[in-house]
Amino acid sequence: MKVLIVGSGGREHALAWKIAQSPQLTKLFVAPGNAGIAKLGECVNIKADDISGLLAFAKENEIDLTIVGPEAPLVAGIVDQFEAAGLAIFGPNQKAAQMEGSKIFAKELMAEAKVPTAGFKIFTDVNEAKTYIIEQEPPIVIKADGLAAGKGVVLAASVEEGIQAVNQMISEQAFGEAGRRVVIEKHLEGSELSVLILTDGESVLPLASSQDHKRANDNDRGPNTGGMGAYSPCPLVNDQNLEEIVKSTGESIIKKLAEKGIVYRGILYVGLMLTDKGPHVLEYNVRFGDPETQAVLPRLKTDLLDILHQIAKGKLTTQSLEWDERPCVTVVMASGGYPGSYQKGFPVNGLEEAAQASDVVVFHAGTASLENGQIVTSGGRVLAVSALGETLKAARDAAYQAVQKISFKGAFYRGDIAHRALQSDVSMKNS
């Protein structure tokens, strides 16, 4: 099977790494890819949002399956165009992709499907939004309606921060059209959980649980990012809890979409907060999570390519997945200044030494390769270092040992990935 993966980040490297292990694969292309992905398949110089260019390439090279990594081409309708041309592609169509493309669409659908989520109000007028914020008790959450590269969510600790956020989104158009409408939500307290659900629109097949770390700095401080690390599985839920969560927050939404004539095929990412009143949905994404994918896929033993092809063809026949019982911890190494402005082009050293350890994989996220073979930084999140271990602590130790072998100017990373899980393990053992 000839496969094309669309995207260039750590998630796409993890997908390419896993797809490359499939006995069904004959040739792997990735557009545009990165320096790490280039070692697994052929990188093609076509941007992820160049749908016409991707479509022409897929036709010319007789691609059997295209797998879409990032959300932007899905929201722009890449699946609709490929399917209209008779090509198999994994991911939801444009209508279904509104689950991530519009937070307002998702919140209103949650209300219809009675999915537990934070109370919310929608605003297009900046003065009305400010008036509402003044009446609230912080902290509050302010979200741009559309896609904002993972940066359109602000947790305002004060009224002043809230007003500043809506000014930036609505008045200053910091996110362009994406911020013309905003959602203001009540802040939920608890522990976060990520659940990824494979679906053909009827059947569902959940992946292993994971937990992301969104804040830039240790102890969950600093600005929100695309994700600074993750681990799998999450010990805060058992198999029964996970099954209940999938039914109440995943299957219910897929069913509600079907009632509206929207068949959701692909993967549905459910971001949850485990509150003292039960799990509440924070967000839905319409693609594999990043960096959760880098923590989940190293544990998956089942052939992923076969499953994604089933879904693209419209019928998910696989009913269960085989997992490595060992936990996996992923630590993201980022460029100084991220998620704000940062510099690029710094040499990355120590990659080979880090990858020599058994059960360690270094996924490239924002890297490029110079003509002399030197790998340099080219993005905010540069690498995602994943390690398996017999215990969560062993996996965490292995990941950080690998991280410490890698260096580039301005590099930073959180030093407390999986700390909440390790603390909960200790508290459970002492109880």
Q: Do 99 and 106 touch, CB atoms closer than 8 A?
A: yes
Q: 239: pLDDT confidence band, cut at 50, 70 and 90?
A: confident
**What is the residue extent of each domain of the chain?**
2-90, 125-180, 191-312, 328-430
Cα–Cα distance measured from residue 134 to residue 136, given in angstroms and rounded to the nearest whole number: 6
User: In the prediction, which pLDDT does 94 show?
Assistant: 98
Q: Do domains 2-90 and 191-312 have the same CATH topology?
A: no
Q: 431: pLDDT confidence band, cut at 50, 70 and 90?
A: very low
pLDDT tens-digit map of 272-282: 999 999 999 99
User: In the prediction, which pLDDT does 419 show?
Assistant: 86
What class does CATH assign to 2-90?
alpha beta
- Determine the 3-state secondary structure of 236 from DSSP: coil
Cα–Cα distance measured from residue 107 to residue 374, given in angstroms and rounded to the nearest whole number: 45
Structure tokens at 412: 């930073």
User: In the prediction, which pLDDT does 223 show?
Assistant: 86
pLDDT tens-digit map of 33-89: 999 999 999 999 999 999 999 999 999 999 999 999 999 999 999 999 999 999 999
Cα–Cα distance measured from residue 64 to residue 335, given in angstroms and rounded to the nearest whole number: 36
User: In the prediction, which pLDDT does 110 show?
Assistant: 97
- Determine the 3-state secondary structure of 136 from DSSP: coil
Query: 191-312 belongs to which homologous superfamily?
Result: ATP-grasp fold, B domain (3.30.470.20)
CA distances from 197 to 227, 244, 311, 324, 416 (A): 19, 13, 12, 18, 27
Annotation: CATH topology of 125-180: Dna Ligase; domain 1 (3.30.1490)
CA distances from 280 to 192, 195, 271, 329, 383 (A): 10, 12, 9, 24, 30
Structure tokens at 16: 């390419």
Q: 425: pLDDT confidence band, cut at 50, 70 and 90?
A: low
Task: Inform me whether the pLDDT recorded for 424 exceeds 80.
Answer: no
pLDDT tens-digit map of 297-334: 999 999 999 999 999 999 999 999 999 999 999 999 99
User: In the prediction, which pLDDT does 429 show?
Assistant: 36
DSSP 316: -
**Residues 6 or more apart in contact with residue 287 via CB below 8 angstroms:** 11, 68, 69, 70, 71, 74, 91, 100, 266, 267, 269
Q: 388: pLDDT confidence band, cut at 50, 70 and 90?
A: very high
Domain spanning 328-430: CATH 3.90.600.10? yes
Average pLDDT, whole number, for the chain?
Answer: 94
